[in-house]
Structure 1
């Protein structure tokens, strides 16, 4: 069931402690094994943060720290608000998921995301938008996200958002990450930024220095849109929205009709054999 604005009573969350990450990438491999997203080698279209259409989480080394990048599953996600055909949903358990069958490829979600997370499947003949879905299907079966289950160092843990916030405050107060004393910055990243997220971070280094956007200074995700044509056009789409939205329904109808006709034609061919 889709959630309304704000964290739901059943909202789950991930807490990543940068001080405990050693860059082993077992979380990355677990994600790829679980969802068969492809090789562990990033796509040629991967952005500097390592994310692409076939890599939904990555470990990036910045300075002397390893930082995990993935969809942060915003409490009030911009991608959901920006999508004109409702291909994105915020679920009650906190996951922000994507329905490829509804997508028309406008990529407004890529522009709207303050964290520049959604990626386009440039390597596929029939591309869709891709991103982490917090192992939504696993959550429905009572399992944890594959990445949190695979981490051998406790650098990324999972529970209710309330539990993760409490654990974060506990570590900040004790100045201890469960293994060693840590000089944490007194902040839970994701607690309030852009309305809050369901993936939160603790760190002893300012995350703004590790590639995270500074609130109020967010630009369009240039690295998510390869080429010199897509980006300028994409930047203009919000201003053209009033005109374009009226055409989307017609375009969708035409696409669906053509797909149905093609399927019917294929069925007729199959019957001939």
Structure 2
């Protein structure tokens, strides 16, 4: 069964951005946090918690439906597979994302999109983000 990202332990997050750096470095070959598909941010205020903006791994991803060039394909178990060579840079996937976690990289003319690979989970020092099997129908 396919696994998807979960961030249910955000109370343990220390805001080290290791997950973001790992995603940007391994997937996008960049040291820029802006190239990460996962974004860690504060909820606001001096003593607030951290929040994770992550792909929810939709079973019927709107971003894939909006992609007319075949660069985004529904992934078994939820989320999408991204084929960069097919991407035309139209940004339709950015507009279609229901949780607004897809951003567009104007340097590469490609979306910054989570592929549910789990790289971020391997580099989180407190196991805040995990890969979990999706329960049927969720």
Relative contact order (C-alpha < 8 Å, sep 6+): which is higher? 2
* Structure 1 unaligned blocks of 5 or more: 1-9, 43-53, 136-144, 166-194, 197-273
CA distance in 2: counterparts of 1:100 and 1:14, whole angstroms: 21
Whichever structure has more helix as a proportion of its residues is 1
Q: Is the 8 A contact 1:107 1:129 kept in 2?
A: yes
**2:27 matches 1:14:** no
Equivalent in the alignment of 1:56: 37
Aligned ranges 1:165-184 → 2 under 5 Å? none
Contact between 1:70 and 1:131, CA under 8 Å: does it hold in 2?
A: no
Cα displacement (A) at 1:93: 4.2
Give runs of ≥4 in structure 1 deviating > 3 Å.
Answer: none
Decide whether the 8 Å contact of 1:82 with 1:112 is kept in 2. Answer: yes
CA distance in 2, matches of 1:146, 1:38: 14
* Change over 3 Å in CA distance of 1:55–1:14 after alignment to 2: closer
CA RMSD, 1 decimal: 2.2
The answer (yes or no) to whether the contact 2:40–2:52 under 8 Å persists in 1 is: yes
* 3-state SS in 1 of match to 2:127: coil
The residue aligned with 2:127 is: 154
Which TM-score applies when normalising by structure 2? 0.82
Give a deviation string over 1:223-250, Cα, whole Å, max 9, x none: xxxxxxxxxxxxxxxxxxxxxxxxxxxx
Equivalent in the alignment of 1:132: 114
**Larger radius of gyration between Structure 1 and Structure 2:** 1
- Superposed CA offset, 1:155-177 (max 9, x none): 11223113xx9xxxxxxxxxxxx
- 2:64 is matched with which residue: 63, 80, 104? 80
96-105 vs 32-41, which moves further: 32-41
**TM-score scaled by structure 1?**
0.44
